[in-house]
Amino acid sequence: MNYAIFRSEPIMTTHDLAQIGSHNQREKKAYNSNPDIRIEDSYKNLELVPLNYKYVKRFKEITKEYETQHNEKQKTERKERQRSYTQMLNQSRNRVADELLFTASPKFFENMSNDDLMNWANTCMEFVYNDLVYKKEQILHATIHLDEKSPHIHCVVVPLIKN
C-alpha cells in the first residue's frame, strides 16, 4: 500500500525564508546535513512555479502593498516604536510564508513515467489552488526535487489576508 504525504511548515522570518530558498533552489555546493541529496542530479529538478531570483526579493514583491501600508503607519509612531518592515515581520511571531511538501511512499514512484510524474505534480498543485485556495500570485516558488531518494514537491506560499 502506498501513502500520500503532505506537510505544511510555517516560515516565521525572512532569514528562514532565505535559507529555505537556498535549499530549494540548490544554491549550496554541498548538503552535509542531508546525505540523500545528489547535487550532481540537481539539473533533473523541475520547476512548477519558476523563480529566477531570491525568495526574499519575490516575497517583497508579493507583499509590496503591505510594506507601503506599514511604512505609512510608521510615520505616525513615536521614534522609539518605529520599526522597518523587515523588523516588524521578523519580530511579529506571524508566518511570513508556508512551505508545503508533497510526496508519497517510494514504491509509488517506482517505474513512473515523466508524464505520470507531471500528472501527480499537477494534482498536487490543483490541491494548493482549489482546496487550500491559494491564488497563483501567492505562490512564491514550487519545484519537484528529483535529486533525492523519493521525488517530492516544495511549494512555498505567502498567506496573504486582505481586509
Closest CA to 25 of 114, 144, 150, 158: 144
Of 161, 160, 114, 154, residue with least CA distance to 22:
154
β-partners of residue 49 are 142
Domain of 73, CATH number, reads 3.30.930.30
The model carries a pTM of: 0.90
141 lies in which domain range?
4-157
The share of the chain scoring above pLDDT 70, in percent, equals: 95
What total number of domains does the chain contain? Answer: 1
Is residue 41 domain-resident?
A: yes
Q: How far is CA 124 from the centre of its chain?
A: 14
Q: What is the pLDDT of residues 7-30, one digit of tens each?
A: 999 999 999 999 999 989 988 776
Q: Would you say residue 162 lies in a domain?
A: no
**Cell of residue 17, nine digits:** 525564508
Res. 3 pLDDT band, cuts 50 70 90? confident
CA angle 82, 87, 89 (to 5 degrees): 115
Is 163 within a domain? no
* All three cell numbers of 151: 521525488
CA dihedral sign, ordered 76, 78, 81, 84: positive
Q: Give the three cell numbers for residue 137.
A: 500570485
Report yes or no on 121 lying in a domain.
yes
- 77-129 pLDDT, tens digit per residue, is 898 889 999 999 999 888 999 999 999 998 999 999 999 999 999 999 999 99
**SS3 assignment, position 100:** strand
DSSP helix/strand/coil, 11: strand
